[in-house]
Structure 1
Amino acid sequence: MTARPATAARGRPRGWVDDAVRLIEADARRSADTHLLRYPLPSAWCDGVDLALYLKDESTHITGSLKHRLARSLFLYALCNGWIDQNTTVIEASSGSTAVSEAYFAALLGLPFIAVMPSSTSSAKISLIESQGGRCHFVAESSQVYAEAERLAEETGGHYLDQFTNAERATDWRGNNNIAESIYQQMAMERHPIPEWIVVGAGTGGTSATIGRYIRYRRHATGLCVVDPENSAFFPSYAQGREDVVTGASSRIEGIGRPRVEPSFLPGVVDRMMTVPDAASIAAARHVSRVLGRRVGPSTGTNIWGAFGLLAEMNAQGRSGSVVTLIADSGDRYDDTYFCDEWVSSQGLDPSEPAAALEEFERSCSWP
């Protein structure tokens, strides 16, 4: 008698996961894509030099920020790796825009979501996460959020999304309408369709990793410039060629800058880095808000400061071309902080000098 071969099956029925992926993909189709805005630069700073600046407006995502893309990718990554099913509690270490967006996707799938954050987190941030159906779990110190998120995942049998490790892994950098592919498609009919520079900040490092990889994959001549705020480990790590840099201080510019070098940050795909003073980020956010007639967030100010510097450099060298950067989120979330003079002063910051530099840039394209 012929013995039957031994078999084993560990996989779960995929019906729920199939539907979860469908829901996320349907959500992406409904929201289409974010706009690419042309920033109104003066028409003629210098004879023969043609410059253009574009802003990819990520604030128009349904959860209001660039992190909507990351949250979508993290959920798809976890679902397709078999880490999330209909009984999974989803957990993240975040008190900001990532947690807001992740709470949205968890609610879309009918899953509980817990955001681990320091007890010092503002009530406004907590309210945003809770408004999307998330629950906030507090720790005494910001350095404890990672270990606590892991502990909660183990305790609940849940899944820790771990944005700082998985951001660069979860996004399909070859295409699938990622932010890089979207930028180049939207630029196709412009005067300078291949940007000289794309300028982004780094929080997890996922956005710069995606754009940098895509540039190389498509063999574009574009340079990738990453702008970094004060107290962040990314710039000194990049400049020194070290991964063990720790600053011991948190960034004051929400959404970007980290006290340690996160695993998703890939310095090898970055062509240039700049440090931007926090006062300059705030001044630039306020400046652009006045020009556009609506508020943009502080990390957008960091991006703009870097983009303006590159445009001034191109102008001085007599090089025409385009620069693209991001509106990462709306400034409406920051009424009581970056747009409040009392709060800015309480942080020991004075944006008046960089504000004057921005006015001079708009007048003459000169840069400090």
Structure 2
Amino acid sequence: MTALQISSSPWLSTAIARIEADYLRSADTHLIPLPLPEFAAHGIDFYLKDESTHPTGSLKHRLARSLFLYALCNGLIHESSTIVEASSGSTAVSEAYFARLLGLPFVAVMPRSTSPEKVAQIEFYGGRCHWVESAVQVYDEARKVALETGGHYMDQFTYAERATDWRGNNNIAESMFSQMARERHPVPRWIVVGAGTGGTSATIGRYVRYQRHNSQLCVADPVGSVFSAYHRTGDVSLTGAGSRIEGIGRPRVEASFIRTVIDRMVDVADVDSLAAMQALSQLLGRKVGPSTGTNLVGMLTLAHEMLARGEQGSILSLLCDSGERYLPTYHNADWVHAKMGDCTAATRQMNRLMRPAQA
């Protein structure tokens, strides 16, 4: 099929219409105020945008929709394409959903450590999992699978930052600021996100600058990820072990991670992420995932710095996905002790961080 035939294809028109119809059927995600009254008494308010309520259960639903539209409108996929993605799980779940919507086969190239719940969701949407032993192997293997199937490698780590319209068009940043409009501090002092591809931080950072908001962007980065060191040095050749917090952090610098739109990095130990995950699950009365715990550590770190400077304002972050996906792993005490170690000291520290009087 030639490029001209692709651009005028009835299948292409139908595919885009199906994705847009799916979008119109979906409501926006909720903005949740965190009940931390002792911080509120000092003029600091916390919010989480609950991305777990998307049809595929995570923040990556937005990314998958954007990646599919980007690939369709650039003529990269057609009605006989096999869709291939390198993923730690959540993006693959969301892409499997959209592939099924378009009637296309989907293959997720993932580390064997990916949670069983995510694997089950990928398979529920008709996707197939192709395993590698470590996160550093997903890129080359995904390209190989795409070549063998005659398919298209979506490559979220390259295209995440450019597939989303960062100026607006109801992206996540525009939604955040619209929902904050009636709050005590409507323009957040800080927005805190994690980074897997870097697409979310790129979208928010660019939007903040474009709209001239007086907000700063912080990326909470798990230990083992190279992003924090890259933000500090600008060295694109950096490599690392990768993150043990599923969905965020990477063993190499990704093309979609735009360091120049990020004002601050906070390094977060794995045990601190898990202690924060448990504390937030108790605070909300429902389980959240480990990357949301990483975000909370970043939020609390910034809040205590604001207290020390006598500043007031709001801090906004993301509830990335539901903890139900991680019941056998991050929410299983035996698994955590075996894989991550003793979290007792981290839990005590988290209890201190949750109370400003003990800063």
TM range (shorter): over 0.9
> What SS does structure 1 have at the residue aligned with 2:213?
coil
1:124 matches 2:104:
no
Distance 2:97 2:39 in 1: 45
Given the alignment, which residue of 61, 68, 76 partners 1:68? 61
Q: Which residue of 2 aligns with 1:28?
A: 23
Q: Which residue of 2 aligns with 1:112?
A: 105
Given the alignment, which residue of 80, 84, 88 partners 1:87? 80
Distance 1:134 1:19 in 2: 21
Contact persistence 1:107–1:132 (CA under 8 A): yes
> What SS does structure 2 have at the residue aligned with 1:194?
coil
The letter for the 2-side match of 1:178 is: N
TM-score, L = length of structure 1: 0.93
The verdict on how the C-alpha distance between 1:319 and 1:16 changes in structure 2, with shifts beyond 3 A counting, is same
Distance 1:120 1:288 in 2: 24
The verdict on how the C-alpha distance between 1:44 and 1:118 changes in structure 2, with shifts beyond 3 A counting, is closer
My pick for the range that moved more, 85-94 or 296-305, is: 85-94
Show structure 1 runs of 5+ residues with no match. 1-7
Shift of 1:221: 0.9
The verdict on how the C-alpha distance between 1:362 and 1:142 changes in structure 2, with shifts beyond 3 A counting, is closer
> What SS does structure 1 have at the residue aligned with 2:355?
helix
My pick for the range that moved more, 128-137 or 59-68, is: 128-137
1:333 matches 2:328:
no
Contact persistence 2:173–2:203 (CA under 8 A): yes
Larger Rg: 1
The letter for the 2-side match of 1:276 is: V
What count of residue pairs does the alignment treat as equivalent?
357
1:298 matches 2:290:
yes
The verdict on how the C-alpha distance between 1:116 and 1:152 changes in structure 2, with shifts beyond 3 A counting, is same
My pick for the range that moved more, 127-136 or 270-279, is: 127-136
Given the alignment, which residue of 11, 19, 27 partners 1:16? 11
The letter for the 2-side match of 1:213 is: R
Q: Which residue of 2 aligns with 1:269?
A: 261
My pick for the range that moved more, 86-95 or 205-214, is: 86-95
Contact persistence 1:312–1:366 (CA under 8 A): no
Tell me the percent identity.
Answer: 59
The verdict on how the C-alpha distance between 1:106 and 1:283 changes in structure 2, with shifts beyond 3 A counting, is same
Contact persistence 1:238–1:267 (CA under 8 A): yes
Given the alignment, which residue of 330, 346, 350 partners 1:354? 346
Contact persistence 1:45–1:365 (CA under 8 A): no
1:241 matches 2:234:
yes
The letter for the 1-side match of 2:4 is: R
1:211 matches 2:204:
yes
Given the alignment, which residue of 259, 272, 290 partners 2:251? 259
After superposition, give the CA deviation of every residue in 1:286-320 in whole Å (9 maximum; x if it has no partner).
00000100000000000001101111111221111
> What SS does structure 2 have at the residue aligned with 1:37?
strand
1:98 matches 2:91:
yes
TM-score, L = length of structure 2: 0.95
Shift of 1:237: 1.1
Distance 1:45 1:137 in 2: 47
Question: Equivalent residues in 2 for 1:42-81 (5 A)?
Answer: 42-43=37-38, 49-81=42-74
Contact persistence 1:95–1:125 (CA under 8 A): no
Distance 2:260 2:329 in 1: 35
Contact persistence 2:187–2:214 (CA under 8 A): yes
Contact persistence 2:114–2:246 (CA under 8 A): no
Distance 2:3 2:66 in 1: 28
User: RMSD over aligned Cα, in angstroms?
Assistant: 1.7
Distance 1:80 1:366 in 2: 54
Show structure 2 runs of 5+ residues with no match. none
The letter for the 1-side match of 2:17 is: R
The letter for the 2-side match of 1:27 is: D
Distance 1:53 1:140 in 2: 38
The letter for the 2-side match of 1:90 is: I
My pick for the range that moved more, 95-104 or 17-26, is: 17-26
